[in-house]
Structure formats: structure tokens, C-alpha cells
Amino acid sequence: MVKISICIGSACHLRGAHNVLNAFTSLVEKYDTQAVVDIEGNFCQGRCTEGVVIKIDDEVITNVSKDKVHDIFVDKVLGR
Ligand code: FES
């Protein structure tokens, strides 16, 4: 199981966390990976100026925008 945590604190929200969340959710459906990917919202990760902040398992990834989600998903989720 791969756990994707997306910060939904206010700073990340303003930077488009909701779009990032939607983009990951769409990819999980597109690649039929519901059984192996768990997506959740996270509280502020303390790195608000680097948002959107996400975590894939224990790896923190900063400055995520919805345009980067596909590459991250292919690399960090499908590439495992
Ligand atoms: S709101 Fe996302 S790191 Fe603070």
C-alpha cells in the first residue's frame, strides 16, 4: 500500500491543494490502483511557503502543483 498525504492546511489550500488532491484521485481511478493507493488529507506540515506539500509514505515533496501530479504519480507510485 502506498500512502499519499496531501496537506490541506490554509496555505496549501490557497496554493491549490484541492486541485492536487483531485488530480491524484483521478489518476488512482485511471490506473485502477484503488487497492494499493491510499489518499488522505493532512494538517499543516510546517512548510507553508513550499506548498503544496505532500507526503508519499515518508517522503516529503514540496511545491507540488496539479501539473506535476502525473509525473510524481508515475515515478513514485507506479514506479515502485
Ligand atoms: S499549510 Fe501546508 S505546510 Fe502549512
How confident is the model at residue 58, as a pLDDT? 93
CATH class of the 2-78 domain in this structure: alpha beta
How confident is the model at residue 80, as a pLDDT? 78
Walk across the sheet containing 2-7 and list its strands.
37-42, 2-7, 54-56, 59-61
Residue nearest to atom 1 of ligand 1 (CA): 9
Provide the residue ranges of all domains of the chain, joining segments of one domain with +. Answer: 2-78
The minimum-distance atom of ligand 1 relative to the CA of 13 is 1
How confident is the model at residue 64, as a pLDDT? 98
Q: Does the beta carbon of 8 sit less than 6 angstroms from any atom of ligand 1?
A: no
Q: How far is the CA of 50 from the centre of ligand 1 (A)?
A: 8
DSSP state of 73: I
Q: How far is the CA of 32 from the centre of ligand 1 (A)?
A: 29
DSSP state of 65: -
42-68 pLDDT, tens digit each: 999 999 999 999 999 999 999 999 999
8-40 pLDDT, tens digit each: 999 999 999 999 999 999 999 999 999 999 999
